[in-house]
Structure 1
Amino acid sequence: MKNRNVWRIIMSEIKKYMEDLKKNKTGLKGILVIILIFAYGILGSYYIMNLNINNSIYYTIITIATVGYGDIIPVTPLEKFFSTSLALTGIGLIAYIFTIIITSFEENLHDIRSGRHMEKRLAKMEDHYILCGFGRVGTAVYEELMKRNQKVIIIEKNEDKLEDIEETENVVPFNANATEDKTLKKLNIDKSLGVIVTTGSDVDNLFIVLTTREMNKDAWIISRASKKENIKRLKHAGANKVISPEVSGGTDIYFAAVQPNLVHITQKHGIDYLEREFEILKKHNCHLENIEYHFPGIKTPVTRTIGVLDEEEKDHFIDMVKNNPEVHESMDVMYETVNGVHSHWISGPDKSHVDMVIEELKKEGNLLGVNLDFKEINEFTKQFKE
């Protein structure tokens, strides 16, 4: 049974190779030349060497293969010329042709294997971002995605730009043209968290946005606009958000991309709870992006951007709050001034992870609400002030 399966695989590969040969003129010509050499050998053996058909085939093969058993010996000058020409022509051309065929066959197998591997990797991706274009802006967006352990497929037609990107469980670099329909169809758009379009050409971006929207009406699409006048065009084409690097950068594009998985929570607690809050976020692979301190009656909060903190930075921050009297006192004053009421933007790999953080904060008893507006937050600040 095992041998049969191996044979089926070999025959399948040969069949595909023969189909490719029809498109490959060099390989097809090589096979025709081999046929002509054997025809020359068989016909010459039959008419010049005066052999029957069976011996003609036999003599042709052993002469081309330079075996020469000596059981059939050319005698006349014509027979010797024929045998010599057959041997020299056969060994030279067949060696050359088989080299071309084998090289072509190996390249074909490599393409088949690498193509199948890539198709399998792309098919397995879920809850991922699709990043089209890996130039300066695309690289900045990619770095933001990696800081937050997001899954991403990078589409870039310039293979050199992907050289330093290692394929991992979360990262699939795909050397292809994102403006082609066949490329976009392979990317599991319906299972993605968002499509981020960051090529340097607004024309390409427009085409990618249009095609993506046609394929999936519910896709969350973020596009770069190199020129401000193209922002409206990209929005009309179907982009949910359009960011211009003239006024913003990769970080803003990232936040626009994760907006569906970015939640604004409002809490009330003191500084002693900060360590526990970081533990909950880490447990569910989420990140605290900023802190907004709400003062009673003031619509605009005081905002402090946090970004992504690694473990060392988190430990250093908690250590300062605990052990540095000046830091502890200044933060304590801030929390007392706002009555402990403050908000965070929380980001995560997907909505389910963010929801788990929210559920755990509810159980802890510190969560006041999710995506509250100014009036709702102000009611809490006034209530706690009184």
Structure 2
Amino acid sequence: MRKITFKILTKLPTKYISNGLIIIMAIFIYGILGSYFIMDLNLIDSIYYATITMATVGYGDYLPQTGIEKLFATSLALAGVALLAYVFNMMLTNFQEKMTKYSKGARKLKAIENMEDYYIICGLGRVGKVVFDELTDRNQNVIVIEKDKEKCENIEEKKNIVILNGDAIENDLIAKLAGTKCRSVIVCTGDDVTNLFIVLTIRETNPDAWIVSRASKLENIKRLKKAGANKIVSPEVIGGEGLYYESASPHLLRVTVRHNSDEIYEEFKIITKHGCTLENIEYHLPGIETTLTRQIKTMNIADGQRFVNRLSIHDDQKQALDNLYRSANNIHSHLISGPNNTTFDKLLEDLRKQEEIIGVNLSNEEIAKLTQKEILNK
């Protein structure tokens, strides 16, 4: 019994134990003093009487005779009953808290089991929140691991979002999650030592994981690289959005095409059909490496329809867009993010049926040379 009681007490929150001990001591002292001065018992008998009355045992060997003795005995017995009720309620409350926590944890684990192609974010600070927003804007599956409980509570969990309040390296949690179903791990806590340890933990058990880490200090970039990070981003150089692009780099496709502005919507329908996001459009002026870039960041077909409708009622905007396409000889590139390379293969197959594809994942230098040759050939 003693072992069981000790085990229960060690599992209880400190505040409950402290409050309970204070109450027990206060009632016990009241019982001893009352027994000594009111019941006129000696010290040993006072301790004995206070104990059996608080425990509501009452052997009957000491019976209160006067009115004040009866009032004292009644108050002490009621205090003992109240104490038992408090202890029981304390244990029940703790049990409910444990069960609620267990139930939530079980639901989260079940949600993770059912997830495919998810991203993991370690650390939900200023940079981590930007990465989180970039991913959720694209309806990606995201698992967030954050030690700060308040930050976790500020994020609404959805079917494709799981928030884990805890340490990423505790119980090898991150190593278990960064398996084959994980597209990328983004390590962006504010502490480089923590980031380094997380990267080492992941790489030790997941040699093929794609890891992008934040480096608060430039001198730690080499250390994180040696630890196994595929990409390291410093906020001194680039922000949270850059972390997203680096984390998605195995699943980013740059397609250089040639077509006029009238084919924009048909092309966009193909991109969204495959569940991909059009990140931006880059226009290549002949012979010039630097591109004119329009940020798009959408996978919603309704956005494409609104764009086409706007051009249909604003002739000046349509004319400006046509001029831009003509200036670039209708050559431009699309930066597209998607779930995997199999999807990209199917996407490229459909795009080739719709338009002329000049190249895939070409550098700006390669494209500039191609456009320069076209000018010379003309």
Normalization by structure 2: what TM-score?
0.75
Question: In 2, distance between residues paired with 1:190 and 1:380?
Answer: 41
Q: Which moved more, 1:155-164 or 1:315-324?
A: 315-324
From 17, 21, 29, give the equivalent of 2:8.
21
How far apart in 2 are the matches of 1:293 and 1:144?
24
Q: Establish whether residue 302 from structure 1 lines up as the match of residue 291 from structure 2.
A: yes
C-alpha distance in structure 1 between counterparts of 2:294 and 2:167, whole Å: 36
Identity %, equivalent residues: 41
Tell me which moved more, 232-241 or 360-369: 360-369
Report 1:104-115 matches (<5 A). 104-115=94-105
Q: Structure 2 counterpart of 1:367, which letter?
A: I
* Corresponding position of 2:29: none
Residues 148 and 348, structure 1, Cα contact 8 Å, conserved in 2: no
Paired AA for residue 320 in structure 2: S
Is contact 2:131–2:241 with CA below 8 Å preserved after alignment? Answer: yes
Answering whether residue 57 of structure 2 is matched by residue 97 of structure 1, we say: no
Q: In the alignment, is the contact (CA less than 8 A) between 2:175 and 2:206 conserved in 1?
A: no
Superposed, which structure 2 residues align to 1:189-268 within 5 Å? 189-268=179-258
Q: 1:24 to 1:320 in 2, by over 3 A?
A: closer
Q: Choose from 310, 314, 317 the match for 1:324.
A: 314
**Gap change, CA 1:188 and 1:248, over 3 Å in 2:** closer
Indicate how the Cα distance of structure 1 residues 206 and 307 shifts in structure 2: closer, same or farther if over 3 A, else same: farther
Equivalent residue number for residue 155 of structure 2: 165
Give, as a single letter, the amino acid of the residue that structure 1 aligns with 2:267: E
Residue identity in the other structure for 1:252: G
Q: Deviations over 1:310-331 (max 9, x none)?
A: 6675444323433433333333
Give the aligned residue type for 1:21: I
AA aligned to 2:101 is: D
Post-superposition offset of 1:365:
4.0
Q: Hey, what's the Cα distance between the residues in 2 that align with 1:255 and 1:207?
A: 23
- Is the Cα–Cα contact under 8 Å of residues 284 and 292 in structure 2 kept in the other structure? no
- Whole-Å Cα distance in 2 between the matches of residues 112 and 65 of structure 1? 38
The normalised TM-score by structure 1 is 0.74
Distance apart, 1:268 and its partner CA = 1.5
Distance 1:380 1:300 in 2: 10
2:178 touches 2:209 (CA, 8 Å); kept in 1? no
- Structure 1: how far apart are the matches of 2:263 and 2:12? 73
1:273 and 1:65 map into 2 onto residues whose CA distance is 90
Letter in 1 for 2:161: V
Distance 1:99 1:199 in 2: 40
Alpha-carbon distance change, 312 to 283 in structure 1, aligned in 2, over 3 angstroms: closer
Distance 2:181 2:7 in 1: 33
Structure 1: runs of 5 or more not aligned = 1-16, 34-59, 67-73
8 Å contact 2:268–2:301 — kept in the other structure?
no
The 3 A distance-change label for structure 1 pair 21 and 376 is same
- More displaced stretch, 184-193 vs 125-134: 184-193
Question: What are the superposed Cα offsets for residues 302-345 of structure 1, whole Å, 9 maximum, x if unpaired?
Answer: 23131314667544432343343333333323323433222111
Residue correspondences, number: 328
Where 2:61 maps in the other structure, the secondary structure is helix
State which drifts further: 375-384 or 124-133. Answer: 375-384
Structure 1 residue 120: deviation in Å?
Answer: 1.8
Aligned to 1:134: 124
- Report if aligned partners of 2:267, 2:354 keep a CA contact under 8 Å in 1: no
1:145, CA displacement in angstroms? 0.8
1:78 has 2:61 as partner: yes
After superposition, residues 342-381 of structure 1 pair within 5 angstroms as: 342-373=332-363, 374-375=365-366, 378-379=369-370
> How far apart, CA to CA, are the structure 2 residues paired with 1:101 and 1:136?
39
Secondary structure of the equivalent of 2:220? helix
In structure 2, what is the equivalent of residue 50 of structure 1?
none
Question: For the residues of structure 2 that align with 1:342 and 1:108, how far apart are their CA atoms?
Answer: 57
The whole-number CA distance in structure 1 between the counterparts of 2:373 and 2:229 is 40
Cα deviation, 1:227-278, whole Å, max 9, x if unaligned, reads 1111111111111111111121111111001000100112121110001112
Deviation per residue, 1:132-191 (Å, 9 max, x gap) = 011110111111111211111111100111222111111111111123243214425331
The verdict on how the C-alpha distance between 1:78 and 1:169 changes in structure 2, with shifts beyond 3 A counting, is: same
Q: Which amino acid aligns with 1:207?
A: F
Say which SS state the counterpart of residue 177 (structure 2) adopts: coil
Secondary structure of residue in 2 paired with 1:196:
strand
Which AA in structure 2 matches 1:230? N
The separation in 1 between residues aligned to 2:7 and 2:340, in whole angstroms, is: 43
Distance 1:383 1:193 in 2: 39
Question: Residue 306 of structure 1 aligns to which amino acid in structure 2?
Answer: Q
Give the Cα–Cα distance (whole angstroms) in 2 for the partners of residues 156 and 134 of structure 1.
6
User: Which of residues 122, 140, 155 is equivalent to 2:112?
Assistant: 122
From 247, 253, 260, the equivalent of 1:270 is 260
Return closer, same or farther for 1:124/1:186 CA change in 2, 3 Å cut-off: farther
Cα distance in 1 for residues equivalent to 2:159 and 2:301: 22
Structure 2 residues not aligned, in runs of 5+? 25-51, 65-72
